[in-house]
Amino acid sequence: MSVVLGNNAVLGGGNRVECGSWYAEFDSANAPYAREFVLGEKAMITSGHYFDAVGGIRIGEGSWIAGRGSQFWTHGLGVEDRSIGVGRYCYIGSAVRFAPGARIGNLVVVSLGSVVSHDMSPHDQALIAGVPAVVVRDDYRPAGWAALERALDDGAIAYG
């Protein structure tokens, strides 16, 4: 498994990033498993989250996996689209579940307890919530993100 931590990325305590031994129990040499975990520059993962990196997980620059108890699953029976993607400058609340193939765009907030079950990456700057998760609000700008948007427009990297 490949683990890449971007500059100034924070991976808090009590997190599990693993592939598990099951993938080695069969001829997986030619199986389409990415076996990678990428945490972008200045991204942060608090504590107590689970990441099944067999199918590949990429968390974008400046994104936060906040709170506790979120799970990211990249495998399952009959699953072909495995990889999970979190865009740039996203905020993931506590106890969120990402299913295999789930992706979100940039500047997205995923509400507490949501289940992201498919590719939602065409939606940038959105509030996503629910089971299964849906876009609750487009053009979503939580308090404090105006400074972040200005920094992005100027090409600087900053938190709002």
Question: Which residues are CB-contacts of 126 (< 8 A; sequence separation ≥ 6)?
Answer: 105, 107, 108, 109, 120, 135, 136, 137, 138, 139, 140
Please tell me the distance from the alpha carbon of residue 93 to that of residue 113, in angstroms, as a whole number: 7
Mean per-residue pLDDT, 90-96: 96
Task: Evaluate whether residue 160 is within a structural domain.
Answer: no
pTM above 0.75, yes or no: yes
> CATH code at 118?
2.160.10.10
Reply yes or no on whether the pLDDT at 102 is more than 90. yes
pLDDT on residue 152: 60
If residue 160 lies in a helix (H) or strand (E), which one and from where to where? none
Higher pLDDT, 146 or 97: 97
Reply yes or no on whether the pLDDT at 24 is more than 70. no
- Which residue in 43, 85, 37, 97 sits closest to 65, CA to CA? 43
Please tell me the distance from the alpha carbon of residue 111 to that of residue 131, in angstroms, as a whole number: 10
Domain that holds residue 86: 2-154
Query: How sure is the predictor about 153, in pLDDT bands with cuts at 50, 70 and 90?
Result: low
What is the average pLDDT value for the chain, to the nearest integer? Answer: 88
Q: Encode pLDDT of 30-71 as tens digits.
A: 667 888 999 999 999 999 999 999 999 999 999 999 999 999
Supply angle C-alpha 135, 68, 11, rounded to 5: 100
Length of the chain: 160
* 67 C-beta neighbours (distance < 10 Å), count: 18
Task: Evaluate whether residue 159 is within a structural domain.
Answer: no
Q: Into how many domains does the chain fold?
A: 1
Task: Evaluate whether residue 91 is within a structural domain.
Answer: yes
